[in-house]
Amino acid sequence: MRATSQRRWTALAIGAALALTLSGCGEPVDGPLASGPDNPVATTAPSAHATPPTPSRAPQAPPRTSEPATPSVTQPPPSSPSTKPAAEPPATHSPTATSPSPSTQPTRPPRTSLQLGDRGEQVRLLQQQLSDLGYWLGEPDGHFGGLTQQAVFALQKAAGITRDGIVGPQTKAALAAATRPSSRVGGTGVEIDLTRQLLLVVREGNVVLTMNTSTGNGQEYVSRGTRKIARTPTGSFAVYRMVDATEKAELGELYRPMYFYGGYAVHGSPSIPAYPASHGCVRVSNSAMNMLWSTGYLAMGTAVTVYA
């Protein structure tokens, strides 16, 4: 009776262990670590129920000591008149047939343009040229980053050429011609040119800084249940409210906005494409917005003129 009870408990324990294994409590064993070179132990571990291998009793072949060192007289001669001598190398193994001629080596064409991601002295010189013309990009550092691309956009807009952010022949010609916009209003303030999508910082009638901007895209949108058109208002205004923080609005976030008319503001954004894309505000890069705050170029009461 006691032996029967012990066998019954043993069977129950084995059944419980099997059920736990099948429930998938651990990681599956049919994945990439179950076999292959990444987990050789899994492929070489013996089964718990496998019979241990027995040593092989097959007789080993005797050492080949009876092979003569020279060919037997009964073997055919090493060569016959019809056999091509082995000493003659194939024509395809000739060094002159496989070695490429130096004149046939491909050559990389010289770079004729500069674009986002490039680095080096050419980029630094480009940045210096743009800065000298008033296209703001921060400090020249030899890296064609986002701010340099914004300055290239601004130059291309001022020159009326393709706005692709790449410094090719047309853009280089615009640089060589010292292309820069001029003030339409004069005086001191900020001008927003909707046609060319440019923001101009003007001091005593002279444009001292030019920046890429993106304004209202003219598309319909819904705000607080009302359908509206994404347009940037034109006219003469002045900065009346400044928020030194990222302000969350219904249509998105405005970085350090400076309001010049109702809910319309110049503000920083991580996205300033070369075309109109906003709901009506005037976007510049976050770095450009920091510069406008620190320099006072756009401060409380600054005149803001928007024209098409």
Give the pLDDT score at 251: 86
Residue 276 has pLDDT above 50, yes or no: yes
Residue 84 has pLDDT above 90, yes or no: no
Mean pLDDT of 145-171: 98
Distance CA 76, CA 165 (A): 79
270-207-169-164 Cα dihedral, nearest 10 degrees: 20
53: left (phi over 0), alpha (psi -120 to 50) or beta: beta
* Token pair listed for 191: 């001008």
More confident call, 115 vs 39: 115
Question: Residue 58 — pLDDT band, cuts 50, 70, 90?
Answer: very low
Mean pLDDT score of the chain: 77
Express each pLDDT in 188-198 by its tens digit.
999 999 999 99
Residue 296 has pLDDT above 70, yes or no: yes
Give the pLDDT score at 107: 61
Contact (Cβ atoms closer than 8 angstroms) between residue 103 and residue 136: no
Residue 16 has pLDDT above 60, yes or no: no
Contact (Cβ atoms closer than 8 angstroms) between residue 207 and residue 134: yes
More confident call, 71 vs 25: 71
Residue 75 has pLDDT above 80, yes or no: no
Residue 69 has pLDDT above 90, yes or no: no
Give the pLDDT score at 87: 52
Distance CA 130, CA 135 (A): 5
Contact (Cβ atoms closer than 8 angstroms) between residue 143 and residue 97: no
pTM for this one?
0.65
Long-range contacts of 147-153 (CB under 8 A, 24+ apart): 147/285, 147/287, 147/288, 148/116, 148/123, 149/116, 150/211, 150/212, 150/272, 150/285, 150/288, 151/127, 151/211, 151/212, 153/212, 153/274
Domains and CATH numbers, the chain: 121-176 (1.10.101.10), 189-307 (2.40.440.10)
Mean pLDDT of 49-64: 43
